[in-house]
Amino acid sequence: MGSIFGGGPSTILKYVRQKSLRLIYANVKERILFDAVNGIDTITQVQKGAFSSRINNLAHGVHYSSSWTSEIVFGFEICRNKLGPDFEKYAFIDIGCGRGKVAIKWKQMLRKRRLEQNVYGMDYYDYLIEQAKYNYRKVIGKDGAFFCADATEFDYSILGGHVIVYLYHPFDETILRPVLAKLQNQSVIAIYNNPVHEDVLLSAGYKLVAEKRGFHPQAQTVVLERNPKNPQ
């Protein structure tokens, strides 16, 4: 909450002037409410200038900001309906997980529906990974599986042959292309929120399954799938 409301009345007034009422309402509903209900902080943004300069590929990443809750729900429901009884065969990973909101919300939805699935998060900034672990443990009640790793160097084969990948526009196409290449031998469903480089996935052989085109980039999500070139 601190990034929006922690600076007193002047900060609030400045924010209101800069944002439309519709966007303010969306941020309350989609971000602030999630944190308030769960007693955690996933909303506070982290600008790239605060990241460690030692991080490889930092120049190709973006600042940290949390996904809107409805976009996570949209992706979950599309995947569940698309995969049917095979849904639980898929591992789930949020690449660029930040403070862990997506993994937490995904696990909550699994529990509500009494479904089992391996849930993971990955980020290249160790501070955010520690925040994700803390938040996940506080909400879910047990340790989560989070990796501090460069997305271009991670061994995705350890996730198994079927993977649901969540991307909230974590990096540019310089990183996206090699990540997709490393996933080419797995059956992949990609949930891409704020799909800036959707064309890169389409050119890599992904097919559009569903789309949600909202009023704001954060309210736009596409779900795509691709069969493996060489199944594991």
Q: What pLDDT digit, counting tens, does each position of 188-219 carry?
A: 999 999 999 999 999 999 999 999 999 999 99
Residue 38 lies in a domain: yes
58 occurs within a structural domain: no
Q: How far from the centroid of its chain's Cα atoms is residue 162's Cα? A: 18
Percent of the chain with pLDDT over 70: 89
57 is a domain residue: no
The domain of 102 spans 69-226
Candidates 40, 57, 34, 24; CA nearest to 152 is: 57
pLDDT of residue 115: 98
State the Cα angle at 41 between 5 and 138, rounded to 5°. 150
- Tally of structural domains, the chain: 2
d(CA 41, CA 175): 28
Do 34 and 109 have their domain in common? no
Whether 14 and 110 share a structural domain? no
The pLDDT of residue 230 is above 90 = no
Task: Tell me what pLDDT residue 7 has.
Answer: 46
Q: Position of tokens 């596409």?
A: 222
What pLDDT digit, counting tens, does each position of 18-57 carry?
568 888 899 999 999 999 999 999 999 888 777 765 777 7
Residue 61 belongs to a domain = no
Task: Supply φ then ψ for residue 101, to 5 degrees.
Answer: -60, -45
Query: Same structural domain for residues 152 and 39?
Result: no
Both 34 and 119 in one domain: the answer is: no
Q: Are 130 and 88 within one domain? A: yes
Do 39 and 98 belong together in one domain? no
Residues 131 and 222 in one domain: yes
pLDDT more than 90, % of the chain: 77
pLDDT number for residue 9:
52
Task: Name the phi and psi angles at 228, rounded to 5.
Answer: -70, 145
Q: Does 130 map to a domain?
A: yes
User: Same domain for 202 and 144?
Assistant: yes
Judge if 189 and 137 occupy the same domain. Answer: yes
Q: Which of 125, 220, 207 is nearest to 168 (CA)?
A: 220
Angle ∠(94,113,189) on CA atoms, nearest 5: 35
pLDDT at site 231: 66
Query: Which pLDDT score, from 0 to 100, does residue 194 have?
Result: 97
Q: For residues 97-123, give the mean pLDDT.
A: 98
